[in-house]
């Protein structure tokens, strides 16, 4: 058995392509009934699983159109203290991201304004 790229390689190198050895023929096909022939001619339909869990990482905020990345300047000591408190919370089983905290605080601020 030769490589499927052997002919291409021979052409590039300027060689005559080597003839491929004849392979013994497979079993002769038998006559198929009309029902079998019609089944073979019909394209297979693949049912897509509807509620199969997706593999890999879940969709992140960056690729979620409901989120927008913004920049805000806060003092370094405030940012450090907030990160420390969030880490303490995560050790107690209450994992919350910095952006989630900001979202909650902004939502509360908006509620107080209406």
pLDDT in tens, 69-86: 999 999 999 999 999 999
pLDDT in tens, 42-59: 555 555 556 677 788 888
Angle between helices 76-91 and 98-113 (to 10 degrees): 110
Q: Quote the distance between the C-alpha of residue 10 and its chain's center.
A: 39
- The reported pTM is 0.49
- Contacts for 67 with CB less than 8 Å, ≥ 6 apart: 61
**DSSP single-letter state for residue 109:** H
């Amino acid at each position: 058995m030769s490589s499927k790229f052997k002919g291409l390689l021979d052409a590039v190198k300027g060689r005559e392509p080597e003839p491929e050895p004849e392979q013994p023929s497979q079993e002769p096909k038998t006559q198929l009934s009309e029902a079998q022939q019609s089944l073979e001619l019909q394209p297979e339909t693949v049912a897509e699983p509807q509620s199969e869990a997706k593999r890999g990482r879940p969709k992140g905020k960056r690729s979620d159109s409901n989120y927008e990345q913004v920049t805000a300047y806060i003092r370094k000591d405030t940012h450090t203290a907030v990160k420390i408190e969030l880490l303490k919370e995560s050790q107690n089983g209450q994992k919350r991201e910095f952006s989630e905290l900001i979202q909650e605080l902004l939502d509360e601020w908006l509620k107080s304004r209406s």
